[in-house]
Amino acid sequence: MTSMERDLEGRRALVTGAASGIGEAVARELAGRGAHVVVADLELEGAERVANAIGGEPWVVDLTDLDALAETPLTADILVNNAGIQTVSPIEDFDPARFRMMIDLMVTAPFLLTRAVLPGMYATGWGRVVNISSVHGLRASAFKSAYVTAKHGLEGLSKVIALEGAPHGVTSNCVNPGYVRTPLVERQIADQARLHGIPESEVVEKVMLTGPSARMVTGSSYVMDGGWTSR
């Protein structure tokens, strides 16, 4: 590898929801670029599998246990807020407890994790916060009230982190993918088929930044959705 490819040598990264899907891919990429990666996930087996594969460390954590999370001391040069879940349901049928839990997981937990690592980032004058948002952080879809609300909230939080972090060498950005074939998306297929009145076989077709040189990139949202948000 070139020196640019190992540009995160000596950095410590924390990636949530890193036992599979996008989080796992991010953890592997950061480790490949030299970072020591904390693989945070609710699932012990998956966290250990990924951590062992990349020479990182597993952290089994329930990000919805907000009181415990608020008291957990953390250090990281790079924080990737990726953990998320999805529920597809009309608003009138949406379980209020499920709604609150999704907001806790995808907005309050990223706030608490950021709150925990910012002092260390400020002390060293360098930090990267990457929030895995969604096209649903910019636009809405029916039947996804909690997810859309959470991702819009994450977008706002990310911009505030960017403003507060700027004087301290800390950047904060959102990445906004469309559908990515991960376990989270796979579990939506049956629900999408039922709500849209189409076969499961048609759902996929019809429905569905961290290095030193990135210091000038902050407060932004990077959309990778094949033009979906431009419609």
Residues serving a catalytic function are 147
Can you list the positions of beta strands (E) in the chain? 12-16, 36-41, 57-60, 78-81, 127-132, 170-177, 221-224
- Distance (Å, rounded) from C-alpha 133 to C-alpha 196? 24
- DSSP assignment, residue 139? S
- For the chain, the 3-state helix, strand and coil shares in percent, each to the nearest 5, are 50, 15, 35
Q: Are 171 and 215 in contact (CB under 8 A)?
A: yes
Element (H, E) at 132: strand 127-132
- Distance (Å, rounded) from C-alpha 71 to C-alpha 122? 19
Alpha carbon distances (Å) from 98 to 5, 71, 89, 156, 203: 41, 24, 11, 22, 24
**Residues in Cβ contact with 205 at an 8 Å cutoff, skipping those fewer than 6 apart:** none
